């Protein structure tokens, strides 16, 4: 017997037939003698509809009202899932965030879970009852509904798994696992059997959209074993586990890419102390997140070029901030380029193997792809290249690191 | 300065434009210096959609899950109304049943309000804040969402008005008041300026659909002054008030009709003690509500005919119950007739004026309309006639009681 949290995303509960299909998977786990909690998203499209109502009603909206409106989508799915399970003879009931309770902070619209009281659910597991939980929502210190931000149901599932000490947190979705890279681009991409939390976190942060970054982070911190698998096919998925559970390590586990960034270059900035603060301080004040940063070596020790990346949606704001601060920053020219892609190679094996970066640079050079910016972490190397090379770069790197399926 | 509860039904908040229109009416009351609570229904069509999801998922459903699903409709409207008011510069926030709290019993799907804590709302009235309340729902003793049944938002509004000691409870709807009879049938029908709670209660129970019966009953018991008025036109509506507030009493105030009943006749039932118990006991056990009952005088003292009415939707069930108990009840024949209409004449003036019933019988006779069943109460006379006479009967009675508009 195991205790399992099963999470179904929007496409997995898109309509009543799909809810019924998901319910069958729940029943299978129950019939196998497991204790089960189910976390559901809103039916696909519902959240967008509700968000559009809000956008049409108010330009700068009260996020507490936004949360109360948008959270209703998951409330409906939770009730329908409980009813469907009952109809199949499974003892089940729905739980809303304020009933459990799932406590959050008061940052409405992107709240963080602060505590979950799993005691009543655990008691009911003992009576054979399945808990069906509305994902994406909790209750704020002031008794208002607070949502966790887009994709927040993954986080609900992992937080719940930690709270009830579940053996596994299964994330059912419309893909059948985590791949070495995007299989729509690289046909030889392989499904990864097991991946460490840390690698999954890097993959997710670097552009792989299969899991919400925060949920992986939480799973890592609480040692929650996750599985990503398909709602529609009976295939084993990808296990996301602690590193020590992985026996045979690859040097490189996966290759991610992100088209969501843009490059900004300040030409001929004064090369003197404090200039970086003058640039990145105002950007931070304007809530512009800066990712990669590179500063060229200054030829004469007086002027240098500074390049960095920001989110594509933040480019206009960033440019305005820099122009407004022109007199303080002192640059000759400001260039913004949105036609870039960030390609990242990820693997815990990098820690113990030299030459991984060299392979990346050599492979890209052989294909005539110019690297614009480089950044690295302990288990990741990211390069910024022109967007038109996305597919070429991914395929070449996938082969170079020996990831191609046979 | 007055304290006012304003309730907007589904058609009054059917889409974002109508929510904006309703919000304008709220702002007008706020600008006039009044303290305002707003009760909203789900956007028209939403509740039906949610109920249909439930019906498709489960035949005999868990009403606690039904309630959680269906209550989401009002949750959305409450948030949108609060946002719209904020956008217009009005200080407003939404409240759900479990936040206020609106306590109910545990009869899910048609729960009754047991208590409302109005203290926090009253405190916020003092700070100039408008409370926007999701109608139709409260919280059960076991912390589950409980709904009040169809039309329950009227009841929420009246209960809230009682809890916060409001000066008036305005029910905004798609008609502009209560009429002497259905204006779609009788073109000379007049809008009633003031009507007593008691008369309104009879009108509502006898078929007038403008207000939910239970809300009027509650208004009567708590002395809440109600007003029925249009969301779409700037016209005075109909005031529903205590009888002593009405100076000039009509003998007859209004004429209601209901096509929702059917007639069942048992031919040649034994005329002996205990037979009625044998008939109506099993019907009550099967949850069939019986309305009018008439027993003919038995010619020989041995056999009699018994006629009564039940809801049209209960006819099949009632017939089955009676057939199943044929050996105990002993009747020669069982006739069911759904082509009937109940026409009711209502007015507190009846208490002090004789001849009101006589006018009704004479008027119907003059038009050649046969009365099948009669029942009376202190302020009401109801007759059952063939459905085809509905319009004719209403028009003739409306003229006979001097209700026609000039």
Tens of pLDDT, residues A276-312: 888 999 999 988 999 999 887 777 778 888 999 999 9
Structure token pair of residue B299: 């010619």
The answer to whether residues B22 and B132 touch, using CB atoms and an 8 Å cutoff, is no
Band (B207; pLDDT cuts 50, 70, 90): confident
Answer whether B281's CB lies under 8 Å from B319's CB: no
Do A57 and B144 count as a contact with CB atoms less than 8 A apart? no
Confirm or deny that A173 is annotated as ligand binding: yes
pLDDT at position B391 is: 97
> Which of A54, A76, A86 to substitute to test the interface with B, most B CBs within 10 Å?
A76
**Chain A residues within an 8 Å CB radius of B91:** none
Partnered with residue A255 across adjacent β-strands are A345
**Residue A7, annotated as binding a ligand:** yes
The whole-angstrom distance between A42's CA and the closest CA on chain B is: 12
Domains and CATH numbers, chain A: 3-245 (3.40.1160.10), 249-401 (3.30.2130.10)
**CA-to-CA separations, A379 to A200, A219, A232, A365, B364, in angstroms, rounded:** 11, 18, 33, 22, 92
* Whether A65 and B93 lie within 8 Å, measured CB to CB: yes
Both tokens of residue B90? 């009005």
Cβ pair B99:A50 closer than 8 A: no
Which pLDDT does position B224 carry in this prediction?
A: 97
- Name which residue leads in pLDDT, A248 or B77: B77
pLDDT at residue number A275: 83
Chain B interface, mutation test: which of A38, A62, A79, most B Cβ atoms within 10 Å? Answer: A79
Whether residues B65 and A93 touch (CB distance < 8 A) is answered with yes
**Chain A residues whose beta carbon lies within 8 Å of the beta carbon of residue B58:** 83-84, 86-87
pTM check: above 0.90:
no
- Asked whether the beta carbons of residue B75 and residue A69 sit closer than 8 angstroms, the reply is yes
Indicate the annotated binding residues of B for substrate: 47, 74
Give the model's confidence band at B111: pLDDT under 50 very low, under 70 low, under 90 confident, else very high. very high
Mutate to test the interface with B, among A72, A89, A132 (most CBs of B within 10 A): A72
pLDDT at B298 over 80: no
A89: nearest CA in chain B? B58
Indicate the angle between helix axes A72-87 and A46-57, nearest 10 degrees: 160
Place of tokens 């009005």: B90
Please enumerate, by residue number, every residue of B annotated as part of a binding site.
7-10, 47, 74, 173-174, 179, 184, 209-210
What residues of B form the annotated binding site for ATP? 7-10, 173-174, 179, 184, 209-210
Provide, as residue numbers in chain A, all residues whose Cβ is less than 8 Å from the Cβ of B82.
Answer: 62, 65
- Alpha carbons B400 and B369: distance in angstroms, whole number: 15
* Each residue's pLDDT tens digit, B221-272: 999 999 999 999 999 999 999 998 987 778 899 999 999 999 999 999 988 8
A174 is in an annotated binding site: yes
CA B132 → CA A322, B67, B82, B136, distances in Å?
Answer: 43, 20, 6, 13
What's the pLDDT score for residue B229? Answer: 96
Beta strand extents in B75-225 (DSSP E only):
92-95, 102-104, 113-116, 130-134, 137-139, 145-147, 168-173, 194-196
Q: pLDDT value at position A55?
A: 95
Whether the Cβ atoms of residue A319 and residue A282 lie closer than 8 Å to each other: no
Query: Cβ contacts (< 8 Å) between B84 and chain A: which residues?
Result: 57-58
The per-residue pLDDT for range B350-406, each reduced to its tens digit, is 888 888 999 999 999 999 999 999 999 999 999 999 999 999 999 999 999 999 987
The pLDDT of residue B112 is 94
Q: How far apart are CA A326 and CA A333, in angstroms?
A: 10
Longest distance between any two alpha carbons in chain A, whole Å: 78
- Mutate: best of B40, B57, B81, B117, partner A, most A CBs <10 A: B57
Q: Identify residues of B whose CB sits under 8 angstroms from chain A CBs.
A: 16, 19, 50, 53-54, 56-59, 61-62, 64-66, 68-69, 71-73, 75-76, 78-80, 82-84, 86-87, 93-94, 96, 98-99, 143-145
- B-chain residues near A59 (CB < 8 A): 87
pLDDT at B151 over 80: no
> What ipTM was predicted for this assembly?
0.84
Residues of chain A with pLDDT under 70: none
Please report how many Cα atoms fall inside a 13 Å half-sphere around the Cα of residue A399, on the Cβ side: 11
Query: Of A364-378, B109-123, B284-298, which gets the smallest average pLDDT?
Result: B284-298
Nearest to B16 among A56, A59, A143 (CB): A56
Q: CA nearest B15 in A: which residue?
A: A53
Q: What is the pLDDT of residue B149?
A: 82
Contacts of A53 in chain B (CB under 8 A): 16, 76, 80
**For chain A, first and last CA: distance in Å?**
37
Contact B135, B153 (CB under 8 A): yes
């Amino acid at each position: 017997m195991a205790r399992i949290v099963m999470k179904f995303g929007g496409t997995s509960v898109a309509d009543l037939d799909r809810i019924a299909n998901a319910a069958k998977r729940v029943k299978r786990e129950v019939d196998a003698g497991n204790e089960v909690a189910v976390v559901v998203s809103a039916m696909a499209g519902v959240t967008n509809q509700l968000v559009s109502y809000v956008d049409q009603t108010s330009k700068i909206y009260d996020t507490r009202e936004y949360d109360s409106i948008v959270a209703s989508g998951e409330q409906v799915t939770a009730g329908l899932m409980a009813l469907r399970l009952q109809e199949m003879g499974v003892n089940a009931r729905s739980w809303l965030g304020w009933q459990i309770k799932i406590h959050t902070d008061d940052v409405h619209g992107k709240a963080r879970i602060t505590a979950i009281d799993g005691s009543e659910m655990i008691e009911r597991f003992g009576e054979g009852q399945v808990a069906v939980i509305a994902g994406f929502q909790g209750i704020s210190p002031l008794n208002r509904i607070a949502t966790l931000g887009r994709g927040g149901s993954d986080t609900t599932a992992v937080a719940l798994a930690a709270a009830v000490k579940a053996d596994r947190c299964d994330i059912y979705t419309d893909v059948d696992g985590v791949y070495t890279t995007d299989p729509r681009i690289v046909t030889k991409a392989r499904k990864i059997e097991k991946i460490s939390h840390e690698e999954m976190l890097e993959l997710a942060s670097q552009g792989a959209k299969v899991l919400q970054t925060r949920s992986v982070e939480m799973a890592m911190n609480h040692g929650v074993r996750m599985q990503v698998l398909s709602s529609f096919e009976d295939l084993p998925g990808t296990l996301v586990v602690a590193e020590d559970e992985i026996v045979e390590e690859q040097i490189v586990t996966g290759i991610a890419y992100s088209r969501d960034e843009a490059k900004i270059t300040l030409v001929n900035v004064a090369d003197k102390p404090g200039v970086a603060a003058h640039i990145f301080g105002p950007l931070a004040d304007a809530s512009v997140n800066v990712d990669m940063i590179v500063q060229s070596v200054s030829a004469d020790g007086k002027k240098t070029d500074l390049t960095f990346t920001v989110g594509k949606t933040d480019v206009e704001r960033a440019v305005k901030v820099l122009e407004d601060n022109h007199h303080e920053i002192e640059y000759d020219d400001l260039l913004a380029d949105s036609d870039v892609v960030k390609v990242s190679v990820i693997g815990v094996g990098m820690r113990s193997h030299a030459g991984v970066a060299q392979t990346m640079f050599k492979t890209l050079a052989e294909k005539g792809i110019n690297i614009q910016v480089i950044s690295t972490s302990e288990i990741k190397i990211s390069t910024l290249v022109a967007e038109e090379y996305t597919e070429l770069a991914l395929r070449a790197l996938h082969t170079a690191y020996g990831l191609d399926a046979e």
